[in-house]
Amino acid sequence: MKIDLISEIKKILLNSIEKNIRQGNFQIKDIPEIILFTPKNKAYGDFSTNIAMQLSRKLKLKPLDIANFIVSNLDIQDTIINKAKIASPGFINFWLKENWLYQTLNEIREKGKDYGKIDLGKREKIQVEFVSVNPTGPLHVGHGKCAVVGDVLSSILKAAGYEVEKEYYINDQGRQIDLLGQSVQARYNHLLGEKMEFPADGYKGEYIVDIAKEVIDKFQDKYKGRDDQESWEFFKEFTLRNILAEIKKDLKDFGVEFDVWFSERWLYEQNKLQEVMELLKQRGFLYKKEGAFWLKTTVFGDEKDRVVIRENNIPTYFASDIV
């Protein structure tokens, strides 16, 4: 049997107020919303209400007198309430019977994992996007914190009746991914005794060397000394797949799994960025200045407009977020 403490106590209070109205003690038509709260000091009971103070202005009576009328008409026999007492200036405090705890334990045992779930969301769809670390290196403790917060939030929303989709947004487009591939390519050549300049802003972690060794194990010297489009694409894709696989494994081992792994690259392959930029131009929200395209974010209360396409024609992170 489900026990809704708040609703049951409110119902008992409402019945008492309505009884006082029928008896002629209270001359009112509309009863304000009954508010219950948990006293900070347990000496004042398990729950307390200020309904007497709420009614005082309407009834033009002292809160203590109103509280006495309410308590005198409370029907708490065979309910979860053990006793009710009045405290100045008109609070009504309630102490619960111990058996409600046993009833709650029975309910927990019967419902198991479904205990506590409610239908607040009524199956409304909500997407929670979290972690979404750039696939340019392994996860660290800080990412673990984000994983926990996002996963717990998703679980709470599901328990509240929402239809939740957990998404990991893969930032697999742009210069950082090119640099990633170039970094592994340089280490690969170095391990094979081939000179190749390491990119100035390249990734220097030990994991880059480990991936380069894996390339050697699988492909030997197939790409040694090469510096062409095919080799660039190979190292970029091989490294990206390798790091993403490790990220997925780490998250799964951590107990966090996603419904959707959304690739940013897909937006570009499907020309979605171009479509959105054209739409913004048509609606007058996009303009060109100093070779770059700017979005009129000040129209929406931002402190300044924001660049969406740089002067070198490379989109900003903000552009991808808009799409």
Domains of the chain, CATH where assigned: 5-100 (3.30.1360.70), 117-269 (3.40.50.620), 271-322 (no CATH)
- Cα atoms found within 13 Å of the Cα of residue 309, Cβ hemisphere only: 16
pLDDT of residue 2: 54
pLDDT of residue 94: 97
What is the C-alpha separation between 48 and 86, in angstroms, rounded? 10
pLDDT of residue 307: 94
Cβ–Cβ < 8 Å for 269, 323: no
Q: Which residue type, as a one-letter code, is found at position 311?
A: E
DSSP code per residue over 155-220 = HHHHHTT-EEEEEEEE---SHHHHHHHHHHHHHHHHHTT---PPPTT---SHHHHHHHHHHHHHHT
DSSP code per residue over 37-55 = E--SSGGG-SEEE-HHHHH
Task: Give φ, ψ of 85 to 5 degrees.
Answer: -130, 155
* β-pair type (260-263, 163-170): parallel
**Mean pLDDT of successive 10-residue stretches along the chain, which has 323 residues:** 80 96 94 94 94 95 96 94 95 92 87 91 96 95 96 97 97 91 97 95 96 98 96 97 97 97 91 90 92 93 93 85 83
Q: Which secondary structure element, helix H or strand E, spans residue 96, and what is its range?
A: strand 91-96
pLDDT of residue 1: 47
With a threshold of 0.75, does the pTM exceed it?
no
- Chain centroid to Cα 247, Å, comes to 20
pLDDT of residue 312: 87
Closest CA to 243 of 181, 200, 198, 182: 181
